[in-house]
Amino acid sequence: MSTQWLSLVATIWLQSISGTNTNFPAYSSQLKHLLNMSQLQLNNLAFASDAGKILAWFSGVAAAHLPLWLVLMIGSLIGMIGYGVQYFLLTNLHVQSSTSYWLVFLLTVVAGNSICWINTVCYILTIRSFPLDMQLALGLSTSYQGLSAKIYADIVDVVYTKFSSDGKARGYLLLNSVLPLIVCIIVAPVVARSSNVGDSISSGGGSCSRKLSSGFVVMFLITIVTGTYAVISSCLGDSILWSSRFSQLFILTGMSLLVIVFPLLVPMVEKIRESVQHKCWIRQRKVCSFPTDEHVNEAPPALENGIVKKSGEFSDVIAEEEIGPKLMLKKVDFWLYFFVYLFGATLGLVYLNNLGQVVESRGHSRTTTLVSLSSSFCFFGRLVPSLLEYHFTRTKYMGSRAGTMAMMMAPMSGAFFILLINSNIALYISTAIISLSTGAISTISVSATRELFGAKDFGINHNILIINIPIGSFIFGNAAAVLYRRNSDGSDVGKCMGMTCYQTSFMIWGSLCCLGTLLALILHSRTKKL
């Protein structure tokens, strides 16, 4: 049991640093200046970060044939090359002046692909370790990916506090290159050990994760405190009181304790409890003259019609139909699911990629504050499915994943239209709602893929689904860039100031999100039996 919880802590650490592309809005304007790019080129660079997901299925194939710790290290090395070379190019003035835009574009694609390798390891490890509480564990671990931008921003604020905005942009690239590699090296032994334990659990040899509910309660409390702390520290980012170096260091220290130290308490307590129980069992065996234990030779739960049968009752775990990638692409449900994600989470990611330019066009000076705020609410959004799952499993009721997606996309549609109001409050509220919904849909989709198409080819199937992210990023991002340029001063690198810059884009995105909500309801009606 303690090893299962240790694997969850490992995925929390990995997810906390894996979202390197989410901090792009914090330095996109500086990158545009350093490389003398147009708005269209900048949007294509945001697309390049998502384009790495086109080759994400490589990580799924690798995970099916290689040890998970090796897949993890490959992903971190790919990221180090992608971001590290960019950092080298921007820190050498002679090289920077002659740097090709397409070289930076290619390196960004490589860096974006590295995220897929780390995420694939996290998903597979969590599913293996917690087969009966998959959504709970997935939601807890993936929620921390929503904090990535916040964590990177806090580190840059402390380390690069005396640097110019261009220096901070280089700092983000250096952190994106080095930090994931360091964490992956630390976590690799845990992943190697947890993979073996996960395989035994999945095959029926391990303990039933339904006994771990107390641990989930503690994890939920730690996670909620972490998210609350992130939101409060982000909202206070504009105040003079919290802009000093000491305050920034205090915020970073608190975040480090909440993300690194506190989650370790659960596996430590479980390890102590296991030791105590083992000693009590040995003592009891010595006292009894004829030691017997009715549970020692207890057979694993029997399967009846694909459903786990236990103590005369059926549990709520259904053995899904295993569907391979080729068959999946022929199913109507997959294409409904594809466009639901495209008009939901992908649209949200496109907005967040353009957040730096949206803030700048409105004359707002604190881009980092909004990026941290969006990161914090994305964190809570990723946690929402787990809270719903925990509640519904205790009340013996659970709706379909598609229905939950529709529930999250409805307020997101309204948020895009709220952005048409010329107010900083409207900007903050809309960004919070979009981030919340985007995070929730991203997490729900992991369970939805397994629910709809099975677990056998999950790594490949889910990475095929998220190909819609680079597609949407290219189409929606470039369309927004064209509209932005049309309202600018006419030059290639001109800035657009005012509400008209993104007004049409917000209307289009809001309408598409409404369509996605309708498609999610249709998918719900087709799959609610699951």
pLDDT tens for each residue of 385-439 = 777 766 665 555 556 788 888 999 999 999 999 999 988 899 999 999 999 999 8
DSSP per-residue letters across 97-164: HT--HHHHHHHHHHHHHHHHHHHHHHHHHHHHH-SSSHHHHHHHHHHGGGGHHHHHHHHHHHHTTTS-
Q: Which residue has the higher pLDDT, 366 or 179?
A: 179
Residue 406: CB partners within 8 Å, gap ≥ 6? 517, 520, 521, 524
* pLDDT for residue 188 is more than 50: yes
Q: Would you call 396 exposed, middle or buried from its count of C-beta atoms within 10 A (0-12, 13-18, 19+)?
A: exposed
* pLDDT for residue 59 is more than 80: yes
Give CA–CA dist 412/305, Å, rounded. Answer: 39
The reported pLDDT for the residue numbered 212 is 54
The reported pLDDT for the residue numbered 213 is 66
The reported pLDDT for the residue numbered 303 is 40
Mean of pLDDT values over 29-35: 82
Q: State the maximum Cα–Cα separation within the chain, in Å, rounded to a whole number.
A: 92
Which band of pLDDT confidence, cut at 50, 70 and 90, is reported for residue 76?
A: very high
Closest among 53, 30, 31 to 349, alpha carbons compared: 53
pLDDT tens for each residue of 326-340 = 888 888 989 999 999
* pLDDT for residue 269 is more than 70: yes
CA count, 13 A, side-chain hemisphere, 230: 36
What is the pTM for the complete model shown? 0.73
